Amino acid sequence: MATFQLDIVTPEKTVYSGEIEHFQAPGVDGSFGVLARHQPMLAALGIGRVGFREADGTERTLAISGGFANVSGDGATILAEAAEFGDEIDIERARAARDRAQERLDNRTPDVDVERAQHALARSFMRLRVSGTE
């Protein structure tokens, strides 16, 4: 199968750079997949999983928290607010974030930013799923 270059970058670091066969990502309007020689496109990403198969057949999955995917004729770049492979996720921190967000939503006061709490809850759930703990 044909391969192409994938780079996954956050503001802090390059999370992944390598040759892959395909990837699947969480677009804000639904999940989408990309193979080698895909038409150029730019897509907004939501909270979710990015899964891909490396050139050697290894399947990899990471959690992302929004960003953009830029696909060109010779490769793709995912610019994400945050991106973590399952084995890099601090499970206790993710659980604490989930519990804090749930508490804010369950006990709303006028000063609670509901949209921000929902975003934090969704992100923590995704991190826990990708880590394999929930």
Contact yes or no for 58/30 (Cβ under 8 A) = no
Does 71 lie in the same domain as 114? no
**Which carries the bigger pLDDT value, residue 85 or residue 108?**
85
Residues 44, 79: Cα–Cα separation, whole Å: 10
The domain that holds 79 is classified in CATH as 2.60.15.10
Are residues 10 and 74 located together in one domain of the fold? yes
| Average confidence (pLDDT) over 107-129 | 87
Q: What is the pLDDT of residue 1?
A: 82
Residue 61's nearest CA partner among 92, 89, 103, 27 is 89
In this structure, the answer to whether residues 111 and 46 fall within a common structural domain is no
The DSSP code for 112 is -
Structural domain that includes position 108: 90-131
CA 46 centroid distance within chain: 7
Count how many domains the chain has. 2
Q: What does the pLDDT read at residue 45?
A: 98
Q: Is 89 left (phi over 0), alpha (psi -120 to 50) or beta?
A: beta
Give 56-84 pLDDT, tens digit per residue. Answer: 999 999 999 999 999 998 899 999 999 99
- For residue 19, what pLDDT is reported? 97
In this prediction, residue 81 carries a pLDDT of 94
β-bridge mates for residue 48, sequence order: 64
Q: Rounded CA gap, 19 and 62, in Å?
A: 16
Shared-domain flag, residues 43 and 96 = no
